[in-house]
Each structure stands twice: as C-alpha cells, then as structure tokens.
Amino acid sequence: MTKRVFVKTYGCQMNVYDSGRIVDALGESGYTSAPDPESADLIVLNTCHIREKAAEKVYSEIGRLKHLKARDTDRPVMIGVAGCVAQAEGEEILRRAPAVDFVVGPQNYHRLPAIVSATGNGRRPVDTDFPAEDKFDHLPRTGVRRIRSQGATAFLTVQEGCDKFCTFCVVPYTRGAEFSRPVAAVLAEARDLVDAGVREITLLGQNVNAYHGAGPDGRDWGLGRLLEALCAIEGLARVRYTTSHPRDMDDSLIAAHRDLDKVMPYLHLPVQSGSDRVLDRMNRRHTRDFYLAIVDRIRSARPDLALSSDFIVGFPGETDADFEATMTLVEEVGYAQAYSFKYSPRPGTPAAEDSDQIPEAVKSERLQRLQDLLNRQQAAFNTSFAGRTMPVLFERSGRNPGQLVGRSPWLQAVQADAPQSLIGDLANVVVDRVGGNSLFARLAEPASETPFVAEATA
C-alpha cells in the first residue's frame, strides 16, 4: 500500500516551495500527497518563526493532531516538524510535544527518506545541522505530475539564507548564511516547470537580489543576468522575484526591468522604516534617501512599476517623529500593496535585548494609522485600472460557474467570465469594476482570437 503525506505550510512563499520539495523527497520513500491530515500516514508541519507566537501555534496544532495518532494502532500516524521553528527549537520540540516523531531543519529536506526510516520504535531523530552538502544537489527532480497539480504558476528557490543581520530578524539564524544555487541548476528546474505547463515563475530567496550563482562561464552571475537567461526560455511568459533588499538593487537588475518584457512590473522592496535613526538601529545598511533614490531609478527604468514593501512599527526606541517619517515615506513612494507588522522581539536577536521597547498600545495605534494609509493607496492603485485593458494569466476556476480567476502583471487578482480552456493561458481583459480584493473584468475579444498584447502601460 502506498503511504501518504500531508504537509501543512505556515509562513512565507519559500515554505510553500519547500513543502513541495518535502513531498518530492518523500516520494523516494514511496509517499504520495494526501489531501488532508485525516487520510495521511505522515503529517509534516512546515513552520515559520519570523514573528511572535509561531512556536505556540505549532504546539497547539500538534495538540489538535494528536488524536489521529491514537486512532488506528495498526497504521500509526507519524508527525514531523520542519521549517524554521524546527531549526530554532530543535530537541525542545521533542520534550514539549511527545506526539512529534522527528524534527528536520530547512537545510536537511534531502535527508528526509533517511530520517523517516530512522524514526519509530522509540527513535525520534532531530536533524538541524547545516550540512556540508547542498540539499538541492540531493533532492529529486520535481515530477511532472506534481508540477501540473500546482497549475500555471510556480515558485523556484534560487537563493537561501541571509548575511545582512537586521537586528529584528531571525532569518540569518534559522536559514543560515547566504547561498545561491548555480545558474545551470536554476535553468534546468525552470525548463522542467515550463515543459510541464508553467507560464509564470517567481524566483525566491530571503535576499533574492543578492543572488550570485556560479554561471556556466565560470563567473558568478547576478540576478539581472539570471533573469535574462530565464526570459530566453520559450513558453515561459512571466517572471517575478521576491524578496529583495534595497542594497542589492544593482544596475543590471534595474536594466532587466527596463529591457525584459517577461519581468513583471511589480517589485516587493521592503524598507521597514522611513526614519534614518530607526534604519540604523535596525542595521538595515541603507538610509531613507538611498531607498527613495533606488525607487526613482527603477521607476525611470520601468514607469509602470508597482511597488510593495514590508514595514515594522514600534521598533525599540521608535519615537513619534520616527513613525511620522515612515508615514511621509509611504506618501512619497505610493505603494500598490504592503505588509506591515508590530515589532515582535525574537529570542536571540539583538533588538530583543534593547531596553526601550515600545508599549503595545502605541504599536497598535501606529499600525492602525499606517495600515489605513496603505489601504487607501492600494485602493487608489486598483481604482486606476477601471476601464483599462490588461493581460491576465488565468490560474483556476472562480467561485461562480463560468468564471476564472487569474493575476494581472501587477499581481492583482482578476475575475472574469471565460472558458475553462483558458486556464493556464494569458488573455487580454477589460476591467469593468474594481472590488475590494479583486478586479472584475471581461475578455477583451473572443478567447480564440485574443491577441496577446505586450504588458499594458500605466
């Protein structure tokens, strides 16, 4: 009988990608995907540690799953904890959660078949080393069936880890030092994806624009050059990348936004704060003016570029004036979308030790004001598309019959009445109405004759 694995994913897009690779790795041990935890023989929780209560969430999820273990003693369910909580907590998870059978850190997924076979009869392995070998060299290629099951868009991790050490962030500790996959490996994986029907690839990395992978010419390639090579893959229609650091937006990457039509006009470029004093204490290694200058340069290269960012409010020592500086930066840039968070002290990070922590009520009030502004900007951005024609990549059926849902070049969700045959394809639509979470549109012309226009301009 085949065994089945259910992976529950928390956190960022890299974890979404990793969960797929966990399934790939376990395929070597005879596992296929289970649709839900109830029908699984193995449940893996792929966890996130970036903000507060992450570990607590994992323990309560384990509490909820425990009953499945007791259900059928002939077919015991195994529970594994993977991801960044696994990396950060290690052995502690086994102590606190007797239901957990193994713990595996993000760098060790290629070892899962060995870990799973070493589990049982009282053995509960913990593998959170940073191994000398590269996990990507040892993970099996993703099969066509799994790629197809995910549809027309896919993530592809090209870079992992971070050497920047922002003082609030756990990533350098949970994901380790910065590492870039070789160009040839990235291109081979991209070709596999495209051959299986993927039309849009999002390159992932904690610091994706610090990418510096070994090129076929023996030199290190930056992200700009990698994008150029990817865009040459026939059949691939769209490329995105996330998450970037302002310091690593180099000339060739900015030129890629100007020169490569397949690179979508959307950039997630976290700034965190608009105050130089806070940026310095965060060890961001850039100022407000540096960020604004980069934004200007990218917008000159690609005038219809939409920007997104991450913000932290209530960082230790943040004054009212510092917070106002964040608000004016947001006014100045104008974001299409953004994520904002209250600062949350993370164990082991320098800022957690600071004595001038900000009261919760102040954090909440600042977050509310910032989010109101960001929401207004997002609504204004979306409203500006009413009546416009844009190409949409249709990804799946919508809620109502006859409706498909897809994405615009600017990552907006778009709903349109369109035939099922368009799933996985690009088509031009006209935006009729702008809703709170999506644009409502109609096909610009009969589907079979819809010419594909180059990306619309703002």
* Residue with Cβ nearer ligand SF4 (153 or 206): 206
Residues near ligand 5AD, by CB under 6 A: 50-51, 168-169, 270, 272, 310, 312, 341, 343-344, 346
Residue 328 CB, nearest approach to ligand 5AD (Å): 19
Which residues inside 339-378 make contact with ligand SF4, applying CB under 6 A?
none
Task: Give the residue among 119, 94, 407 at the shortest CA–CA distance from 265.
Answer: 407
Distance CA 349, CA 170 (A): 6
281: partner contacted, choices ligand SF4, ligand 5AD, none (Cβ within 5-8 A by kind)? none
Is the separation of the CB atoms in 90 and 173 below 8 Å? no
Task: Give the residue among 288, 294, 356, 300 at the shortest CA–CA distance from 327.
Answer: 288
Is the separation of the CB atoms in 265 and 455 below 8 Å? yes
Residue from 15, 107, 153, 206 in contact with ligand SF4 (CB under 6 A)? 206
87: partner contacted, choices ligand 5AD, ligand SF4, none (Cβ within 5-8 A by kind)? none
Residue 326, both tokens: 């964040």
* Residue with Cβ nearer ligand SF4 (9 or 206): 206
Residue 241 CB, nearest approach to ligand SF4 (Å): 14
- DSSP for 262-294? TB-SEEE---B-S-HHHHHHTT-S--HHHHHHH
Residue 430, both tokens: 């006209």
Per DSSP, what are the bridge partners of residue 123?
A: 120
* Residue with Cβ nearer ligand SF4 (8 or 164): 164
Q: Is residue 165 a contact residue for ligand SF4 (CB under 6 A)?
A: yes
Taking CB under 6 A as the binding criterion, the range among 102-110, 168-176, 189-197, 290-298 that sits at the site for ligand SF4 is 168-176
User: Can you tell me whether residue 103 is helix, strand or coil?
Assistant: strand
* Residue with Cβ nearer ligand SF4 (14 or 99): 14
User: Can you tell me whether residue 141 is helix, strand or coil?
Assistant: coil
* Residue with Cβ nearer ligand SF4 (164 or 191): 164
312: partner contacted, choices ligand SF4, ligand 5AD, none (Cβ within 5-8 A by kind)? ligand 5AD
Residue 60 burial (CB < 10 Å; 0-12/13-18/19+)? exposed
* Residue with Cβ nearer ligand 5AD (121 or 355): 355
Task: Give the residue among 372, 425, 429, 367 at the shortest CA–CA distance from 396.
Answer: 425
443: partner contacted, choices ligand SF4, ligand 5AD, none (Cβ within 5-8 A by kind)? none
Residue 319, both tokens: 């004054």
Residue 245, both tokens: 């650091």
Q: Is residue 172 a contact residue for ligand SF4 (CB under 6 A)?
A: yes
Q: What are phi and psi of 283, to 5 degrees?
A: 55, 40
* Residue with Cβ nearer ligand SF4 (77 or 162): 162
Residue 346 CB, nearest approach to ligand 5AD (Å): 5
207: partner contacted, choices ligand SF4, ligand 5AD, none (Cβ within 5-8 A by kind)? ligand SF4
Residue from 57, 164, 212, 342 in contact with ligand SF4 (CB under 6 A)? 164
Residue 11 CB, nearest approach to ligand 5AD (Å): 9
- DSSP for 287-334? -HHHHHHHHHHHHHH-TT-EEEEEEEES-TT--HHHHHHHHHHHHHH-
Distance CA 197, CA 316 (A): 47
Counting other chains too, the contacts that 218-222 makes at CB distance below 8 Å and 24 or more residues apart are 220/180, 221/183, 222/250, 222/252, 222/253
Going through 269-412 in order, the beta strands assigned E by DSSP cover 306-313, 337-342, 389-397, 403-407
Q: Is residue 245 a contact residue for ligand SF4 (CB under 6 A)?
A: yes
162: partner contacted, choices ligand SF4, ligand 5AD, none (Cβ within 5-8 A by kind)? ligand SF4
Provide the CA 315 distance to its chain's centre, in angstroms: 23
206: partner contacted, choices ligand SF4, ligand 5AD, none (Cβ within 5-8 A by kind)? ligand SF4
* Residue with Cβ nearer ligand SF4 (9 or 209): 209
Is the separation of the CB atoms in 102 and 124 below 8 Å? yes
* Residue with Cβ nearer ligand SF4 (230 or 269): 269
Provide the phi-psi class of 122: left if phi over 0, else alpha when psi is between -120 and 50, else beta: left
Q: Is residue 225 a contact residue for ligand SF4 (CB under 6 A)?
A: no
Is the separation of the CB atoms in 390 and 405 below 8 Å? no
Site string for ligand SF4, 110-149 (x = CB under 6 A): ----------------------------------------
Q: Is residue 166 a contact residue for ligand SF4 (CB under 6 A)?
A: yes
Residue from 94, 162, 336, 390 in contact with ligand SF4 (CB under 6 A)? 162
Is the separation of the CB atoms in 235 and 199 below 8 Å? yes
Binding site for ligand SF4 (CB under 6 A): 162, 164-166, 169, 171-172, 206-207, 245
